[in-house]
């Protein structure tokens, strides 16, 4: 370790390390507002605004965590689970007559309530206790159902369907998407380039799109500085289906919080204490409340930071906090947001494809970490079949039911996990003394 948590590197080293953190943070979050904007049918200026909001609040949440929360150089970023839920609920909402804007308004409430959940559990010191409900069998089922729910949007996006209002597969864009995925895989094999793999893949793909004329012009900005605003989607609305999904996702993300802190603690050679876990939970609640107030995808600590620390040997807080201050500045510069928002959505989908596959991989790892006896196969198999089966039920089949019922039974992800929780803890409970204590199996999940 070149510089530990409490050390202050020289000015030149601090500047370079801050640039490194800034690039990694931007590359891990730039695609999310584009995907959300594409799914929700936002206009280019709205996507730019969402991008601006996302950058600012990532910087603010990460700065607060490092200063007052878990105190690790560890960025908060859009959680894979949250933007996955954003996409799924947009599809379900459309099937029951809820417009994208209304889904976003309801999601703002869901994120604030999920933040309150984190805040309360962290203050009471219950993070570890509640997390035990989400055994590897439950969390593995959740992750697999999430990946399966997303696969349609991912593949159609990579094939160019929907980009520039296209209704058919664009062979050229499909080939470029395959090339981007291949490049990301190649860069991931290099220790020096692994932290920038997604950024480099998207940059090369964007360049190819520009050469062949598939890009949209970058919209100029009339303003130099714009402060972030509250409630991007409009006045918050209450919807039981969205609220229940949000609270369930918050419970699942408790596992992510614990494992991410553990992984970064090992990378910094400073194992987290119980107090750090609880403070991390409190400020993860703060970041969720900020996400809900801003209308951006919910943010959690990303264990990607561990890879950066191990690669660079830089665990000092000062460069990281300077980089997060830089993120807040970027979030107030519309010209930067307009530039980033011009990234073609097929390029964004392709650049993030490997991250999408990690969702399925985490689910498989969770299930592989347990003994697949008859009980586990019955619970996991039943939950997966129920969840996947519901995904194939026509949306019109639910439209005459009450909204709460249609959201529960029409949401294969939510229904599958509810079934798994009931089977695991109520119908087929395992005796406490028959389950050996296990380590947290989800190292590296960045959700």
Query: Measured between alpha carbons, how far is 28 from 23 in angstroms, rounded to an integer?
Result: 9
Task: Say if 386 falls within a structural domain.
Answer: yes
Task: Say if 439 falls within a structural domain.
Answer: no
Nearest Cα to Cα of residue 108 among 297, 331, 299: 297
Task: Say if 447 falls within a structural domain.
Answer: no
| Residue of higher predicted confidence among 400 and 114 | 114
**Which phi and psi angles does 161 have, rounded to 5°?**
-70, 125
pLDDT for 446 = 41
Task: Say if 229 falls within a structural domain.
Answer: yes
pLDDT surpasses 80 at 120: yes
pLDDT for 131 = 63
pLDDT surpasses 70 at 443: no
Task: Say if 287 falls within a structural domain.
Answer: yes
pLDDT surpasses 60 at 13: yes
Structure tokens of 427? 């119908």
Nearest Cα to Cα of residue 187 among 75, 78, 307: 307
Please answer whether residues 245 and 407 qualify as being in contact, where contact means their C-beta atoms are separated by less than 8 angstroms: yes
Classify 369 as helix, strand or coil: coil
Task: Say if 444 falls within a structural domain.
Answer: no
Model confidence over 79-109: pLDDT tens digits?
777 877 787 777 776 666 677 788 889 889 9
Query: Measured between alpha carbons, how far is 21 from 268 in angstroms, rounded to an integer?
Result: 15
User: Which helix (H) or strand (E) element contains residue 341?
Assistant: helix 334-341
Task: Say if 446 falls within a structural domain.
Answer: no
Number of structural domains the chain divides into = 1
pLDDT surpasses 60 at 30: yes
Mean of the pLDDT values across residues 64-79? 90
Model confidence over 352-383: pLDDT tens digits?
787 677 668 778 888 888 888 999 999 999 99
Query: Measured between alpha carbons, how far is 99 from 442 in angstroms, rounded to an integer?
Result: 35
pLDDT for 65 = 94
Model confidence over 256-313: pLDDT tens digits?
787 778 778 878 888 888 888 889 999 999 999 999 999 999 998 887 787 678 766 7
Task: Say if 6 falls within a structural domain.
Answer: no
> Which DSSP category does 133 fall into?
T
Nearest Cα to Cα of residue 140 among 429, 424, 428, 346: 424
Domain coverage including residue 177: 11-431
HSE-CB at 293 with a 13 A cutoff on CA atoms is 14
Nearest Cα to Cα of residue 263 among 52, 77, 39, 446: 446
- To the question of pTM greater than 0.85 for the whole model, the response is no
């Amino acid at each position: 370790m070149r510089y530990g948590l409490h050390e202050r590197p020289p000015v030149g080293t601090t500047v370079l390390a801050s640039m490194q953190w800034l690039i990694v943070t931007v590359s891990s979050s730039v695609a999310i507002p584009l995907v959300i904007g594409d799914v929700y049918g936002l206009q280019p200026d709205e996507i730019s605004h969402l991008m601006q909001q996302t950058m600012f609040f990532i910087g603010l949440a990460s700065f607060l965590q490092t200063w007052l929360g878990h105190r690790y150089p560890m960025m908060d970023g859009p959680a894979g689970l949250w933007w996955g839920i954003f996409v799924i609920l947009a599809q379900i909402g459309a099937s029951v007559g809820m417009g994208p804007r209304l889904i976003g308004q309801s999601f703002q409430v869901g994120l604030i309530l999920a933040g309150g959940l984190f805040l309360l559990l962290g203050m009471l010191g219950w993070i570890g206790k509640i997390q035990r409900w989400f055994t590897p069998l439950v969390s593995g089922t959740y992750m697999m159902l999430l990946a399966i729910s997303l696969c349609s949007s991912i593949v159609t996006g990579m094939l160019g369907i929907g980009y520039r209002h296209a209704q058919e597969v664009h062979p050229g864009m499909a080939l470029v998407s395959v090339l981007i995925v291949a490049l990301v895989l190649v860069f991931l094999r290099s220790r020096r380039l692994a932290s920038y793999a997604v950024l480099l893949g998207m940059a090369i793909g964007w360049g190819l799109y520009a050469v062949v004329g598939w890009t949209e012009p970058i919209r100029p900005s009339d303003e130099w500085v714009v402060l972030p605003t509250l409630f991007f989607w409009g006045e918050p609305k209450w919807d039981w289906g969205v609220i229940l999904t949000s609270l369930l996702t918050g419970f699942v993300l408790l596992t992510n919080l614990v494992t991410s802190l553990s992984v970064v603690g090992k990378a910094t050679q400073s194992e987290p204490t119980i107090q750090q876990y609880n403070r991390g939970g409190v400020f993860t609640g703060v970041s969720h409340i900020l996400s809900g107030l801003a209308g951006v995808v919910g943010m959690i600590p990303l264990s990607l930071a561990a890879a950066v620390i191990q690669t660079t040997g830089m665990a000092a807080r000062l460069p990281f906090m300077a980089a997060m201050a830089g993120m807040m500045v970027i979030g107030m510069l519309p010209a930067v947001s307009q530039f980033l928002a011009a990234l073609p959505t097929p390029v964004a989908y392709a650049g993030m494809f490997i991250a999408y596959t990690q969702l399925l991989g985490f689910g498989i790892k969770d299930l592989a970490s347990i003994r697949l006896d008859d009980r586990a196969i019955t619970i996991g198999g039943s939950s997966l079949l129920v969840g996947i089966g519901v995904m194939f039920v026509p949306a019109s089949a639910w439209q005459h039911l009450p909204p709460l019922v249609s959201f529960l039974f029409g949401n294969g992800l939510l229904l599958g996990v509810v079934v798994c929780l009931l089977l695991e803890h109520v119908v087929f409970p395992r005796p406490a003394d028959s389950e050996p204590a296990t380590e947290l199996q989800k190292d590296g999940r960045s959700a």
